[in-house]
Structure formats: structure tokens, C-alpha cells
Structure 1
Amino acid sequence: MQIRDLPYTDPGDPDVRSGPRFLIWLGRNQIRGQLKSLSWGLLHQCSIAGLPLVIGFAVQAVVDRSGNRLALSGGLIAVLGVLIAVGDTMLHRTAITNWITAAARVQQLLARKTAELGSALTRQVAAGEVVAVSTGDVEKIGWFVEALSRFAAAAVALVIICVGLVVYLPSLGVLVALAMPVLALGVLPFLPRATRRADFQREKAGKATELASDTVAGLRVLRGIGGEELFLGRYRRASQEVRKAAVRSAQMWSLISAIQVLLPGVLLISLVTYGAALARDGKIDVGQLVTVYSAATLLLFPLRHVEEIAMAYSFSRPSAQRAVRVLSLSRVARPSTVDAAPTGDLYDPATGLMAPEGLFTAVVCGDPDEAGRLADRLGGHAQPAVSQEGAVEEGATDHEVPSVLLGGVPLDELELDAARTAVLVQDKDPVLLSGTLRELLDVPSSGRVTAEDALSAAQCDDVLNALAQASVDSGGDPMDTRITERGRSLSGGQRQRLALARSLVTDPEALVLDEPTSAVDSHTEARVAAGIKALRKNRTTVAFASSPLLLDLADRVALVHRGTVVAVGTHRELLRGEPRYRAVVTRETDDEIPAPAPPGKDEAIHAIDTIEEIEERA
């Protein structure tokens, strides 16, 4: 795989049993790239290892006053220089390719999992942790994959050089060969502590990132209540904890680096002392001493890769573990069995809620949290996220909730794309992505609803005017005006209506709206409700709301009380005959709920049953 070929057509099915297994899976899926990097690394390392032999040969040629051998030595040095340059260049190229392609594979896996889980992801994993995994952790995982092949080349080169020295000059070669394992493994006792400190640093950094993400997301609210300094103080403390943890981690890695300088220094001093004594006694030539000393000096370079791979693994292992935590979540425990999206009534067996095909159904819940959970379930997003081993994640229920049915077919048995096409859920707090308004509305759709019709139904005229005035380089065209991240430059009502327009453009078989008009005034709310009903005529629409203006326009209204549908009818019918419905819609307290009217009072009840009077009572 080359960088120009990214993204992957299929990033694969990762091994998410543990962080190390995930790293092994990544390396195994890049075996060709690893072998290329290993080959170029061996060329580079072995060319460097050949320099001491040629230099020793040249020194001995000078001692023997042999011009031919000196010229040959010069030619060999030039050839080795070319090979070193080519090997180093290609090693760097292939290693960085391994890094980038591994990081891209992990990012694609995370993006696929995020799209699969939808809103269920952030209920199982904090948003800040998701950000940390998809940015910093991906880089660290790529670093380990990249360093692995260079370490393998360095390890092979160490073995070749040590064997060569033993054969070339046993008296000194044996000393070097015996010292190499000590030099390479001398830092192992310190690695567990260094790894723990690195893990602790990553944990603190992840919490700080999560705190920063939450603070930025709620900055407008914080400014409104004057809480900026409070949260900034919390972030300062979290940042200082990260700094202290990083310093402690760096201290341990500095100690490891110092050991890897000290031990080779001791070897070189011992080698020079012993070798000089042998040369003085005439047991070895000066050229041989120079060759062995130069080879031992150059061995320090591949030894550095031992420290690097240890550091890369200690940093990438917790990163891989965090990635595995996200990738091991699954949408449902059952495999999909149906490919095509069905049509028909939308029915929830858990609550008994029925949304007939082609009708505008409003749902009233006294508990807003219950409404949000039911809305998610109608879209097939509220099933507990489970690991691939089948363990239900924290926060999930300990019993299986029956799947919502669309046309009698369980949504859990649909392919994910088919389920998302069939039923679309708009959250209570929808997110607007940055980009132009045209890009915002350029979403997969049936093609039956234009962007202009959707914007008109959502009553976005004032939003279009505001975007046209804010336009700098789009010629006054609001469709080409950029919307800032999460639509922060717009009011809450404007963001809500743009998100509604985006949902209307998709024109799904069934559209579920959770409080679609909660952030607008009553006049706009009435027009938005009428626009939704007109645009979604003969299409299944479910709206969770408690506003009489919207409820009165619905074809049917269902009252959900304590997780069960307890009453179904029109808004006016339920207002007359269902006290619990009247308490939610008109905001009455228990003391204000009137007793059932005696016979003969229907006319009096009907006389006050108007939208205007209901709003006054609310």
C-alpha cells in the first residue's frame, strides 16, 4: 500500500482482544511494507557495518605503505557511502509510508465504528477520549508500526556484526559479542516503571483533553453564567497534572538514555585498553584494532533502535488499548439478515408506540430523558453497545430490549445502511458541521425534496438573510456562506431550523424528530409545524413534543407514561379526556388538574378547547 492509494477500500476486521494483539494485527496487515523497510534497513545497516573493515584495511595499507590497497580502500569507501545514502533514503521513505498507512487504517476503522454506533458511541466512551484516540493515539500507534521494521533491521545487523567480529578477530570479537546482550537488555528492568509512568501521563492527558473539549463546547453557556474562570481553573489544574506526569515520565526515559550511553562507554574503554595491550604485544595489527574499535563504535547506532522500540511500544500500547475499547463496541449482538429497507408502520414493542405509515404522529412524554431514549430506539440506535466478546458495556440494560419494527421487520435485522436510510432520527441538540450551507444540505437523500423546499418548510428565511449579510466572498449567496464550527455564529433557534431542513432534505421513509421546535418562539413554531406536515405529506413522521401548537397539527397523538403508551387520539380528544395528557401539555400541577366533568358539561369543555386558551393556561 502506497500513500497515494489511500484510503483503503476495506481497512479490514481488526483483532480487538487486546492492545498488543491489535498492534500485531496492524503489523501483519502491512507485511509487504514491513519487509521492504526491513530490506532497505539491512542495506543501510550492513553498509555502515562495512565501513570499519574498509577503514581498518586502509589504515593497515598506510602502515604497510601499500598505495594499491589504499586506493582500493578509497573506492570501497565511496561505494559504501553510496549504499548508505540509498539505504537510508529508502528506509526513511518506506518506514514513513508504514507509519502513515497504519495511522490511516486506524482512522478509517474509527470512522467506520463511529458511523456504525452513531449517538450510542458517546454514551459508552467520553467525547474527549474519542478525540484523543483519533488524533494523538493514532500517531503513537503509527510510530510503533514504523519503528518495528527499523528495529528488526538493527537487530539483524547487530547479530551479523557480532558474528563477523568473532570470525575476524576472536580475541576482541568475543568481548564485543558478549557485551551486546548486556547493552541491549540492560535497560529492561527500568522499562516497566517507565511504561507505567507513560500510561499515567496518557491518562492525565486524555482527561485534560476531555475537559478542554467540554469547556469549548459549553463556552457560550459558561460566559452566560460567568463560569469561565471556574472551568479555566479546572483546566489549569488538569494541565499541571499532565505536566508533572510528563516530567516524571521524561525523568525515567532520561535515565534509560543515560544507561544506554554509559554501558557502551564502558565497553569502548575496555575494548581500547585490552586491544592496545594486544597490539603492543604484537598479537594483533593496528588495522585490526581500528577495525574492531570502529565496529564497536558504530554498533551504538543500531542499539539506539532498541531504546526507540521500547519507548514506542510503551507509548503505543495504552493508545492501542484505548482504540480497542472503541473498536470492540458493536451496534447489535445479532447479525444482519435483511438487506432492503422495508416500508410500513413504525412500531415499538417495548412501549406499544405505533406510528402508522404516511401519518404525522406526535408523542408526548412527561420525562424528556425518556423521550430521548425512545427517539433513539425508534431509529435503531438505542440497543446496548456490546463488545465483540458479547459483554454489555457499562450503562446498558441487563435485559434485551425488543427491536423496533418497520413494516413488521426488526430494524436490528437490517443492514446498517438500509436502517439509516429507512429511519432518520434528529436529536434534540443536533450538530451542524462547519462548511457552507450548500455543503450542509448536500446529504444522501431520495431527491424528492429540494434544499429550497426544506429551508422553506423549516422557516429559515431569517437564517438565509443573516447568512447573506455575513457573506464575505460568496457574492451574497447564503448557500455559499460558510457556517462556523457547530454553527456557533447562529442562535439556537437558527441552528435548530437548519438541522431540521437538513433532515427534511434526506426525505427518509420514517423521520423521527425530538423536540424540533423547542428553541423557537410560538409564532415560528406554528409555521414550522405546518411546514413539516405539508412537506411530509404521505410520509411517516414522528415528533416528540409537548407544545399544543405542534400537537394540534398532528394526525394522531400518543401519550407515553412510565415507558408505556397509555392513550392515543387527537390532541383535542386527549385534552378533553386524559388528565395526565392535560397535565403535561398545559403544565398543570396535580392540584390544578380538574376532576372529571359531570354529564352534560361537554359543551362547556368544548368552549374552552382552543389553541389560544391552552397557550394562556400554559
Structure 2
Amino acid sequence: MQIQDLPYPDPGVPDARSGPRFLWWLGRNQLGGQLKSLAWGLLHFLSVCGLPFCVGFAVQAVVDRSGARLAQTGGLLLLCGLGIALGDAMLHRTAVTNWITAAARVQQLLARRTALLGSALTRRVAAGEVVAVSTGDVEKIGWFVEAVSRFSAAALTVVAVCVGLLVYQPALGVIVAVGVPVLALAVLPLLPRATRRADTQREKAGRATELASDTVAGLRVLRGIGGEELFLDRYRRASQEVRTAAVRSARMWSVISALQVLMPGLLMIAVVWRGVQLAHEGRIAVGELVTVYSAVMLLTYPLQHFQEIAMAYSFSRPSARRAARVLSLERATDSRGSREATVPTGDLYDPTTGLLVPAGLFTAVVCGDPDAAGMLAERLGGHPAEEGTSVLLDGIPLDELPLHSARTAVLVQDKDPVLLSGSLRELLDVPASGAVGAEAALAAAQCGDVLDALTQGSPAADDPMDARITERGRSLSGGQRQRLALARSLITDPQVLVLDEPTSAVDSHTEARIAEGLRALRADRTTVVFTSSPLVLDRADRVVLVHEGRVAAVGPHRELVRDDPRYRAVVTRETDEESAARDGAPTADAPADDGLTERVLAELEEIEETA
């Protein structure tokens, strides 16, 4: 795989059982690139380590006054120079390719898993951790994957040089052959501590990232309540903890780096001391001493990769563990899409609550608990909190449908939908049936004033679809963001559209017009709206009250307001005293008949006439 061939047609199925297993899986899937990098690395390192032998031969040729051997040595030096240049250039090229392709594979896997889990992802993994995995962790994983081939080339080169010195000059080669493994293994006792400190730094950095993400997401609310300084102090403390952990980790790595300098120096002193003794005794030639000395000096270059692979693994291991954790997440009862890839049509049924949504009708659901409403909406979208609680569409569990079919069949719009930055045209460019155009969807969602706000003072005044939307739509009000998100959902035109409080941030007159537009545009389509707004409830074909986790009442809105006190308490915010008075038991604080239902119905009629 080359960089120009990215993205992968299929990034594969990762082994996400643990961080090391995931790293091993990545390495195996890039075997071709690893072997290329290994080959070029061997050429480069062996050419570098061949220089001492050439220098030794040249010195001995001068001592022996042999011009022919000196000329041959010059040719060998030229070959080594060409090998160094070519090997270094190609090693860098293949290493960068391995890094980028590994990172791209991980990013594609994360994107695919995010698409599979949808909104369930951030409920099971902190948002800051998701950000850390998809940014910094991806780079660290790619670093380790590409460093493996360079380390392998360096290790093979070290072995080759040690064997060569044993053959070339056994008396000094033995010292090198014994000393080099000691150099490579000297830092091993320090690696567990360095790894633990690196893990601590990563954990603290992840928490700081999560805190920053949450602060930025809630900045408008924080400004409204004056909580900026509180969260800023929290981030300062988290940032200082990250700094302290990073300094402690850097200290340990500095000790390891110092050992990597000290130990080769001690080996070089031992080789020179013994070599001078042997030369004084006449047992080795001057050229041989120069060769062994130069070889030990240049061995420090490939030995540096031993430290790098230790650092790369220490930093990538927690990153791989976090990535494996995200990639191992599954839908609660995912059966791998055992059903055929067809989109069923029919009634939607939730066994947990007993909620039945007839096909082709506009059904409104009232829950006294907003959290329970949110969980029910997620369950209707195919994200059950527990196994065995999947909803049925036309009698088929959603979890047994292929993901594409399930998402074509049912679409859930969250209570707080996210608007991505870009043009309005890009925002509305979503997978759709083609039956609902952008103009019809924007009109049904009452987005006229939103278009005016987007085009005001913008160069896109001629075509509102080219108007720019800032990140998460922060330049728009809450109601404007809600309406744009609603228009985006309407364009998709799914078999079943589930909306969680889609009009909670708009005024009553706009809400009434949205309810009418939604009913008209979604005619003969199944629509479920979680709301407690009388304006929306009054336009629904049927209203369902979910009380304490079960369906408690079903009927038209006006009948339920009149006959069901639990429904009336949620929709009209009726107090216990008012309910008791309505049922014929007046209290000291409430009259026997305050006309609450009549007032609510009168207000509905007044708003309808105005709208």
C-alpha cells in the first residue's frame, strides 16, 4: 500500500483483544512495507558500519606501502558512500509510508466503528478519550509500527558487525561481542518504570483533553452562569498535572539516554586499552586496531534504535490499548446482520415499555422523565442499553438487520443534534431517498429566518445554500440549530423518523407551524416525536403516555388531557393540589374547578388561528 492509494478499500477486521495484539495485527497487515523498510535499512546500516573496515584496510595499505590495496579500499569507500546515500533516502521514504499508512488504517477503523456505534459511542467512552485516540494516539501507533522495521535492520546490523569483528580480529572481537549485548540490555531494568510514567502522563493528558472538550462544548452555558473561571482553574490544575507527569517521564528517559552514551564509551575505552596492549605486543596490526575502534564508535548509531523502539513501544502501548478499547465496542446485541439486506416496513414495537408505533402514523410520546425519553428514543433507533431489549420493526429485531438497512429504516434525531461546520449545502448533503428536497425540508422546519441570518452580510446572499455554518452552529441560536437539524433529518426521509424534543427551543407560533409542516411532509410515513408540548401533541394522530417505564395511556391529546391526571400533570404542569381539586376534592389552596383544561384548549385554538 502506497500513500497515493489511500484510503484502504477495506481496512480489515482488527484484533482488538488488547493493545499489544492490536499492534501485532497492524504489523502483520503491513508486512510488505515492513520488509521493504528492513531491506533498505540493512543496506544503509551495513554501509555505515562497513566504513571502519575500509578505513582500517586503507591505514594498513599505507603502512604496507601498497598502492593497489589503497585503490581497492577507495573503491570500497565509494560503494559504501553510495549505499549510505541510497539506503538512507529509501529507508526514510518507506518508513514514512509505513507510518502514514498505519495511521490511516487506524483512522479508518475508528471512523467505521464510530459510524457503527453512532451516539452510543460517547455514552460508553468519554468524548476526550475519543478525541485523544483519533488524534495523538493514531500518530504514536504509526510511529511504533514503522520503527519496528528500522529496529530490526539495526539489530541485524549489530549482529553482523559483531560476527565480522570476531572473524576479523578475535582478540578484540570477543570484547565487542560480549559488550554490545550488555549495552543493549543495560536499560531494560529502567523500562518498566519509564513505561509506567509514560502511561501516567497519557492518562492525565487524556483527562485534560476531555475537560477542555467539555469546557469548549459548554462555553455558552458557562458564560451565562459565570462559570468560566471555575472551569479555567480546573483546566489549569489538570494542565499542571500533565506537565509534572511529563517532566517525571522525561527524567527517566534522560537517564536511559545517558546510559546509551555512557555504556558505549566504557566499551570503547575497554577496546582501546586492550587494543593498545595487543599492538604493543605485536599481536595485531595498526590497521586492525583502527578498524575495531572505528567499528565500536559507529555501532552507537544503530544502537540508538534500541532506545527508540523502547520509547515508541512505551508511548504507543497505552495508545493502542485505548484504540483497542474503542474498536472492541459492539452494538449491545449485534448479530452481525443475519437478516437479508432489505428495509422492512411495518409497525415499530418496543417490548420493554410496550410502546407500539403504527406504520404511517404521526405518534407523539409523552414521558415524565426526560432521561427515560432519551433512552427510549435511542432504543427505537437500534441502540439498546442491554441485551435482549431490541425493538421490533415489522416483527424483525433491528439488531438482526444489516447496519445499512437498520439506519435506512429508522433515524433518530437527538435532543441536542450536532451541526458540522461548512456550507448549508454540505450540511444537507446526507444519504436520502430523494423524495424530499432541501427546499421542502427547510420550509417544513420553518427555516426562513435561519436562512436570512446565515446570508446576512455573507457573500452567499445570492444562494443561501452556499452560506457558511460555523463549528457546531455556534453562531446560531438554539432554536435555529434545532430547525436546521430537523430539516436535515427530513431530507433523509427514513421509514421511521424518531425526534426527541425537536421544538423545545422555538416559540409557540413557530412550533405550531413546524408541527403542521412535519405532519404534512411525513404523511404516510411513520413519525415518532418525544415531546410534552400541547401544540405538537394536538396535531399527532395518536399520543402515548409512558409512565414509570411502561405505556400507561393511549389516545388523542384532548381526551387524555381531560381524562388522565398523569398525562395532564406532565403536559399542563398541573400541581397535585390542582389535580385534587379537579377530581372533586378541593383544598385550601385551590378552588374546586379552576378551568385549567379549558384554558389549555382555548390557548391551543388561539395559537392555531394566529399561525
**Shorter-chain TM-score tier:** over 0.9
Of residues 377, 392, 411, the one that matches 1:405 is 392
Distance 2:596 2:241 in 1: 65
Amino acid at match of 1:412: D
RMSD: 1.7
Distance 2:132 2:599 in 1: 57
- Extract unaligned runs of 5+ from structure 1: 385-399
Name the SS for the 1:591 alignment partner. helix
Of residues 371, 376, 379, the one that matches 1:377 is 379
Distance 2:598 2:566 in 1: 20
Could you report, residue by residue, the CA deviation over 1:26-78 in whole angstroms, capped at 9, with x for unpaired residues?
A: 10111111111111111111111211111111111111222222222122111
Name the SS for the 1:167 alignment partner. helix
Amino acid at match of 1:531: G
Distance 1:215 1:63 in 2: 74
Task: Say if 2:534 and 2:604, in contact at 8 Å, map to a contact too.
Answer: no
Q: Are 1:52 and 2:52 counterparts?
A: yes
Task: Say if 2:384 and 2:390, in contact at 8 Å, map to a contact too.
Answer: no
Q: Are 1:559 and 2:545 counterparts?
A: yes
Distance 2:577 2:181 in 1: 84
Shift of 1:401: 4.0
Task: Say if 1:576 and 1:605, in contact at 8 Å, map to a contact too.
Answer: no
Of residues 599, 610, 615, the one that matches 2:601 is 610
Counterpart in the other structure of 1:442: 429
Q: Which moved more, 1:77-86 or 1:442-451?
A: 77-86
Distance 2:337 2:598 in 1: 53
Decide whether aligned partners of structure 1 residues 609 and 582 sit closer, same or farther in structure 2, where only a CA change above 3 A counts. Answer: same
Distance 2:605 2:328 in 1: 50
Name the SS for the 1:121 alignment partner. helix
Task: Say if 1:331 and 1:383, in contact at 8 Å, map to a contact too.
Answer: no
Distance 2:307 2:597 in 1: 84
Amino acid at match of 2:323: A
Q: Are 1:460 and 2:447 counterparts?
A: yes
Q: Identity percentage over the alignment?
A: 73
Shift of 1:510: 0.4
Decide whether aligned partners of structure 1 residues 109 and 355 sit closer, same or farther in structure 2, where only a CA change above 3 A counts. Answer: same
Of residues 339, 354, 376, the one that matches 1:352 is 354
Shift of 1:595: 3.9
Counterpart in the other structure of 1:182: 182
Q: Are 1:579 and 2:580 counterparts?
A: no
Could you report, residue by residue, the CA deviation over 1:442-462 in whole angstroms, capped at 9, with x for unpaired residues?
A: 000000000000000000000
Distance 1:247 1:444 in 2: 48
Distance 2:365 2:238 in 1: 43
Of residues 512, 520, 528, the one that matches 1:534 is 520
Distance 1:433 1:493 in 2: 16
Shift of 1:279: 1.2
Q: Are 1:431 and 2:418 counterparts?
A: yes
Decide whether aligned partners of structure 1 residues 330 and 190 sit closer, same or farther in structure 2, where only a CA change above 3 A counts. Answer: same
Counterpart in the other structure of 2:533: 547
Shift of 1:92: 0.8
Task: Say if 2:332 and 2:383, in contact at 8 Å, map to a contact too.
Answer: no
Distance 1:306 1:614 in 2: 79
Distance 2:320 2:32 in 1: 22
Amino acid at match of 1:337: S
Amino acid at match of 2:512: A
Distance 1:424 1:15 in 2: 30
Amino acid at match of 1:422: A
Could you report, residue by residue, the CA deviation over 1:422-470 in whole angstroms, capped at 9, with x for unpaired residues?
A: 0000000000011100000000000000000000000000000011114
Could you report, residue by residue, the CA deviation over 1:326-345 in whole angstroms, capped at 9, with x for unpaired residues?
A: 11110133332212110011
Amino acid at match of 2:260: Q
Distance 1:290 1:283 in 2: 14
- Alignment of structure 1 residues 25-40 onto 2, 5 Å: 25-40=25-40
Distance 2:598 2:65 in 1: 123
Distance 1:16 1:606 in 2: 58
Decide whether aligned partners of structure 1 residues 363 and 134 sit closer, same or farther in structure 2, where only a CA change above 3 A counts. Answer: same
Name the SS for the 1:541 alignment partner. strand
Distance 2:264 2:21 in 1: 34
Counterpart in the other structure of 1:156: 156
Name the SS for the 1:119 alignment partner. helix
Counterpart in the other structure of 1:18: 18
Shift of 1:381: 1.7
Decide whether aligned partners of structure 1 residues 608 and 518 sit closer, same or farther in structure 2, where only a CA change above 3 A counts. Answer: closer
Could you report, residue by residue, the CA deviation over 1:260-319 in whole angstroms, capped at 9, with x for unpaired residues?
A: 100100011111111112112211111111111111111111110100001100111111
Task: Say if 1:549 and 1:611, in contact at 8 Å, map to a contact too.
Answer: no
Counterpart in the other structure of 1:395: none
Shift of 1:198: 0.4
Amino acid at match of 1:317: R
Amino acid at match of 1:137: D
Could you report, residue by residue, the CA deviation over 1:468-494 in whole angstroms, capped at 9, with x for unpaired residues?
A: 11423x354221111111000100000
Distance 1:167 1:611 in 2: 104
Counterpart in the other structure of 2:217: 217
Name the SS for the 2:540 alignment partner. coil
TM-score (norm 2): 0.95
Counterpart in the other structure of 2:304: 304
Amino acid at match of 2:363: T
Name the SS for the 1:10 alignment partner. coil
Shift of 1:606: 8.4
Counterpart in the other structure of 1:123: 123
Counterpart in the other structure of 1:511: 497
Of residues 361, 364, 389, the one that matches 1:362 is 364
Counterpart in the other structure of 1:336: 337
- Number of residues of Structure 1 aligned to a counterpart in Structure 2: 597
Counterpart in the other structure of 2:134: 134
Shift of 1:123: 0.7
Q: Are 1:198 and 2:198 counterparts?
A: yes
Amino acid at match of 1:304: Q
Counterpart in the other structure of 1:394: none
Task: Say if 2:337 and 2:399, in contact at 8 Å, map to a contact too.
Answer: yes
TM-score (norm 1): 0.94
Distance 2:29 2:138 in 1: 16
Shift of 1:607: 5.9
Task: Say if 1:362 and 1:544, in contact at 8 Å, map to a contact too.
Answer: yes
Distance 1:578 1:403 in 2: 29
Amino acid at match of 1:124: R
Name the SS for the 1:357 alignment partner. coil
- Extract unaligned runs of 5+ from structure 2: 586-591
Counterpart in the other structure of 1:389: none
Distance 2:183 2:515 in 1: 75
Q: Which moved more, 1:42-51 or 1:69-78?
A: 69-78
Amino acid at match of 1:348: D
Of residues 482, 494, 506, the one that matches 1:520 is 506
Of residues 534, 549, 554, the one that matches 1:568 is 554
Amino acid at match of 1:541: T
Task: Say if 1:556 and 1:570, in contact at 8 Å, map to a contact too.
Answer: yes
Shift of 1:212: 0.5
Task: Say if 2:479 and 2:505, in contact at 8 Å, map to a contact too.
Answer: yes
Distance 2:385 2:567 in 1: 28
Q: Which moved more, 1:216-225 or 1:375-384?
A: 375-384
Q: Are 1:498 and 2:499 counterparts?
A: no
Could you report, residue by residue, the CA deviation over 1:208-261 in whole angstroms, capped at 9, with x for unpaired residues?
A: 000000011111111111111111111011000000000000000000000110
Name the SS for the 1:553 alignment partner. coil
Name the SS for the 1:330 alignment partner. coil
Distance 2:87 2:354 in 1: 69
Amino acid at match of 2:52: P
Distance 2:467 2:398 in 1: 38
Amino acid at match of 2:525: R
Distance 1:441 1:335 in 2: 30
Shift of 1:609: 6.3
Q: Are 1:238 and 2:228 counterparts?
A: no
Counterpart in the other structure of 1:290: 290
- Alignment of structure 1 residues 310-321 onto 2, 5 Å: 310-321=310-321
Amino acid at match of 2:325: R
Decide whether aligned partners of structure 1 residues 608 and 241 sit closer, same or farther in structure 2, where only a CA change above 3 A counts. Answer: closer
